[in-house]
Amino acid sequence: MARTRLGGYLVEHSSFGQPTPFETESHFLFLNGYFDLVPRYLLRTYAPNLPGHTTSDFVKSAAIKKRHLQHDIFSRPEEEARNMLEDHVRWKNKDTDNLTSWISSLIFALQHAVHRYSNDYPRPRKHEIAILLVDTKILPPRTFLPAIALLEAYEIKSPNDG
């Protein structure tokens, strides 16, 4: 595992356990092209107060942390999946949320780390906040899907659209 310090924050690269790949149902086949749009490298900022559990060795969603079964979003009833996704993108984290967020922008990841340090209560120590870097090519295909694809699939407006 490689570790690098950037601006006082630890950036780590490692592999994971068993991811839950997306398995698109027949009425979501139009999403298949989105899998090719996933960047080679993705980042995840993590801090103690975030839902789920992230370390340099694995990423667990809030659902797994709370011992809920890990199911692909497309295997859930459509209304349940839509509600979970809408709550996820609006930062209304619930124990049954099995999604984890990733970003391709190092600047955004660093800004999120600073935000967590400045605004979380109780305030985490600097060494508790880190940024995980993953090479998406070392994980099974369909492990990642751009958020815009899921928003389109469930006809949810982006939080940025109001």
Instruction: Give the predicted TM-score (pTM) of the model.
Output: 0.78
Read off the pLDDT of residues 14-37 as tens digits, 9 standing for 90 and up.
334 567 778 877 778 888 899 999
Read off the pLDDT of residues 140-150 as tens digits, 9 standing for 90 and up.
888 899 989 99
- pLDDT bin (cut points 50, 70, 90) of residue 70 is low
DSSP 61-75: -HHHHTT-----GGG
Can you give the residue ranges of every domain in the chain?
2-154
- List of E strands, the chain: 2-6, 9-13, 41-46, 53-54, 59-60, 130-135
- List of E strands, 20-114: 41-46, 53-54, 59-60
